[in-house]
Amino acid sequence: MSLSLSFLVSLWPLLISLWVLYGVSVAVYRRYFHPLSSIPGPFLNTISYLAILYQQGILEGQLLHALERWHAQYGPIIRISPNEIHLSSPEHYETIYSNALKTGFYKDPAFYGPMEGPIKTPIILTMISNEEHRVRRMGMNPFFSRRSVLGLEQIIRDKTEKLVNMAEKSLGQIGGEFDVHRATRALTVDIITEYAYARSWNYMDLADWGEGYQEAIRAVQTFFPWFQAFPSLLPVFGLLPDWVLVKLYPHFGKWFGSLEVVQQSVADVKRDIVLGIKPPRRTIFHELIDPEPAIMNVEAVKGLPLRQKLPDVVVFADAVNVTGAGVETTGATICRALYEVLDSPEISQKLREELKTALPDPFDVQEMSLVELEKLPYLTGVIKETLRVSPGVPGHLPRVVPSTGATFEGHTLPPGTVVSMSAWSMHHNTYLFPNPDKFDPTRWTNPDVDAVHARERALVSFGRGTRNCIGQNLAMCELYYSVASIIRRWDDLKVHPDFGREDVKLVEFLLSYHPRKARKLRLVGG
Ligand code: HEM
């Protein structure tokens, strides 16, 4: 016994040497003999997946800024991990994203898979096959079409009016300030839940404005980079009881709580269907739980596979996705627009003048219509410029090269190579957006129509192609109403003196956030 133990102990140096030798051989292969070895990139990235984990997991969501530095150093095509290439020239976006159904680029399972959690239920965001995704998405599209959003404009108008009333109440107190950060996230939750379930969660009525929900989403997202780097961790997490996870990381408690609320909303819709209770209007979840036979047949006629009634677990997973996807993204964009406008006397004066002419009564949000607001060029410039400098999903969105292979920037990429681009680097392209860090709404109102069209093609905040953002019409409607009504309502509104440009810096875990230490936007009266 003692002999075999001492024998095993004596093997340790050998085992460690073999392990080091294996590591060195893998690194040498990846750096010098791998099919992507001719593509430039930082040394550590080319030999190990841990380089991305360092940016995302240890430094917390910094990859988008690192990509900018690496492109400046190595050029328009860079190797950011042993099997992933990142491209910065806008000309490639069409091949990888806009025309993906034709070109065959599909979502990277290693990046999106961990977002499904341990239950591994493909949600609309994470489905790998573009064709299967198209069938699933077809049932949802009508609920988010422009026509549908225009038909439900009153919901957004009413909720925005509530937001303005909340601001009025806060600012009316002596020394009052309006916590627009939390309020806008509550607004976006209330809109999407009314829209999706015909039952708003009414977070704007709660004392803490449902802050725990946003915190829960963020907390869960900070785990993505770890599960992407070490996929085998995920099933281990799946085996741990909830109470252990909560002990390890208290934010999980909020996350489990939020899942229960989503589950309740889906159950309420289901109960109404079973009891034959007619909803105020048919929502996306009425459709997913109990699809209209007519819509399913139309798809069959068009030669597409017949859409299936989804299992409960998939409906629930999509509910978690649809409810969460539009909260931080839209709330943060509204806040950034307000910050940029109020931080610049020139921009706020121009926007106020335009709004005063279009909306003579500052108190009447109900007088506004989206179609009229969209016709206001400066307001539109402010919104587009905000989506440029603060894209809700700014980072790399990895896709896999299909079986045909691909060539970019003179480099041939074999099938299976992961290739990505990011809204952040598209929006900071210095040719299309000179002085890219400057917030300048006139980039979009410029009389040079061709230049504006080129910029519009490069503005990819909502993605492009069949995998683009399903909620973009809704998000745009929320942006127009909230920015217009708050700026029009007060002439003397200001950013709280505590808040500065350093607080709008972005970090990214698929969705963008502000660094934990950043202050949250508050507004004060004049
Ligand atoms: C300013 C606000 C928003 C921005 C910038 C944004 C951006 C995006 C982007 C870039 C994608 C594609 C992600 C990828 O390729 O992996 C996406 C997908 C998605 N977004 Fe949004 N989004 C916003 C608001 C919303 C809203 C309000 C909803 C509410 C319904 C929503 C729901 C979704 C869903 C469900 C997907 C997955 C779609 C699919 O894969 O078919 N988003 N979003």
Nearest-CA neighbor of 341 among 509, 521, 85, 476? Answer: 521
DSSP state of 308: P
The answer to whether the CB of 169 falls within 8 A of the CB of 209 is no
Question: Lowest-confidence range among 100-114, 301-315, 478-492?
Answer: 301-315
Average pLDDT over residues 104-126: 90
Residue 469, CA atoms < 13 Å, CB-side half-sphere: 22
Average pLDDT over residues 93-112: 97
Percent of the chain whose predicted confidence (pLDDT) is above 70: 96
Q: Decide if pLDDT at 269 tops 70.
A: yes
Q: Decide if pLDDT at 200 tops 60.
A: yes
pLDDT for 255 = 86
Average pLDDT over residues 482-502: 95
Q: Whose CA is nearest to atom 17 of ligand 1?
A: 469
Q: Decide if pLDDT at 187 tops 70.
A: yes
Q: Whose CA is nearest to atom 22 of ligand 1?
A: 469
Q: Which residue has the higher pLDDT, 478 or 306?
A: 478
Average pLDDT over residues 416-423: 98
Burial class (CB in 10 A: 0-12, 13-18, 19+), 242: exposed
Average pLDDT over residues 283-292: 86
Whole-number Cα distances in Å, 385 to 157, 193, 302, 428: 23, 28, 39, 12
pLDDT for 308 = 66
Q: Helix or strand or coil: residue 391?
A: coil
> 409's torsion region: left (phi>0), alpha (psi -120 to 50) or beta?
left
Ligand 1 centroid vs 56 CA: distance in angstroms? 21
**Element at 371 (helix H, strand E):** helix 370-374
**Element at 389 (helix H, strand E):** helix 377-389
Ligand 1 centroid vs 470 CA: distance in angstroms? 6
Task: Give tens-digit pLDDT for 30-66.
Answer: 999 999 999 999 999 999 999 999 999 999 999 999 9
Average pLDDT over residues 150-177: 93
Average pLDDT over residues 132-155: 91
pLDDT for 296 = 55
Substitution candidate for ligand 1 out of 106, 386, 425, 469 with most atoms within 8 A of CB: 469
**Element at 17 (helix H, strand E):** helix 2-28
List, in order, residues 6 or more apart from 260 with CB less than 8 Å away: none
- Copy the structure tokens of residue 485: 């009504």
**DSSP string for residues in 219-287:** HHHTTHHHHHH-TTHHHHHHHS-HHHHHHH-THHHHHHHHHHHHHHHHHHHHHHHHHTPPPSS--HHHH
Domain spans of the chain? Answer: 38-524
The answer to whether the CB of 399 falls within 8 A of the CB of 420 is yes
pLDDT for 225 = 94
Q: For the chain, how far is it from start to end, CA to CA, in angstroms?
A: 82
What residues does ligand 1 touch, defined as CB less than 6 Å away? Answer: 124-125, 137, 192, 321-322, 325-326, 329-330, 333, 391-393, 397, 461-463, 467-471, 474-475
Q: Decide if pLDDT at 270 tops 50.
A: yes
Percent of the chain whose predicted confidence (pLDDT) is above 90: 75
Q: Which residue has the higher pLDDT, 118 or 20?
A: 20
Residue 154 φ then ψ, to 5°: -60, -35
Nearest-CA neighbor of 81 among 182, 236, 225? Answer: 225
Q: Decide if pLDDT at 298 tops 80.
A: no
Question: Lowest-confidence range among 203-217, 293-307, 404-418?
Answer: 293-307
Ligand 1 centroid vs 329 CA: distance in angstroms? 8
Average pLDDT over residues 223-249: 89
pLDDT for 122 = 84
pLDDT for 301 = 46
pLDDT, averaged across the chain: 92
pLDDT for 307 = 60
pLDDT for 117 = 79
Q: Decide if pLDDT at 3 tops 70.
A: no
The answer to whether the CB of 444 falls within 8 A of the CB of 452 is yes
On whether the 38-524 domain is CATH 1.10.630.10, my answer is: yes
Say whether 469 counts as a known binding-site residue.
yes
Average pLDDT over residues 180-195: 96
Ligand 1 centroid vs 140 CA: distance in angstroms? 13
Amino acid of residue 73: Q
